Amino acid sequence: MRKTTYSIWLLLGSITVASAEPLEILDAYPNRSADSNGPGVVVRLTPAGGEAVQRLTTENVGRRLSLKLGERELMAPVIREPTTNRYFLLSGAMTRPDAERLAEDIQRAGQLDATIIAP
């Protein structure tokens, strides 16, 4: 199986971007949320990407994280707790076909822009 590395960019700041930190992702695929059993997308990070997202989520619990593909905002979830591993789930009001398209879009784009939004 061939591994492909993608990047997610986390942009830190409020509405204005203060700094950016790239997160390398190995892949993204549709899955079910353990909480709601609804569709979602699992994003799998490299070890370095896992360390970076852990720092970001630890420092910003309770704040919104705006996730964009180009100019299109995909979602802006609230960080409920630090992400302490190399996987995270994007879930919300989506159908299984929505989750499949989102996973494909993330892989095709090769990066996400993520901006921390002040509460």
CATH at residue 51: 3.30.1360.200
Could you list the residue range(s) of the whole structural domain that residue 101 is in? 6-117
**CA distances to 1, 36, 97, 112, 114 from 8, in Å:** 22, 25, 22, 4, 8
Q: Is the pLDDT of residue 7 over 70?
A: no
pLDDT (tens digit, 9 = 90+) per residue, 52-103?
A: 778 878 888 888 877 777 778 877 788 888 888 888 888 888 899 999 998 9
Nearest to 50 by CA among 81, 82, 77, 76: 82
Instruction: Let me know if residue 112 belongs to a domain.
Output: yes
Residues linked to residue 24 through DSSP beta bridges, in sequence order: 7
pTM for this prediction: 0.67
Q: Per the domain annotation, does 1 fall within a domain?
A: no
**What type of residue sits at position 31?**
N
Query: Among 79, 3, 87, which Cα is nearest to 40's?
Result: 87
- Tell me whether residue 60 is in a domain: yes
Is residue 17 situated within a structural domain?
A: yes
User: How many distinct structural domains can be found in the chain?
Assistant: 1
25-48 tens-digit pLDDT: 788 999 988 778 899 999 887 787
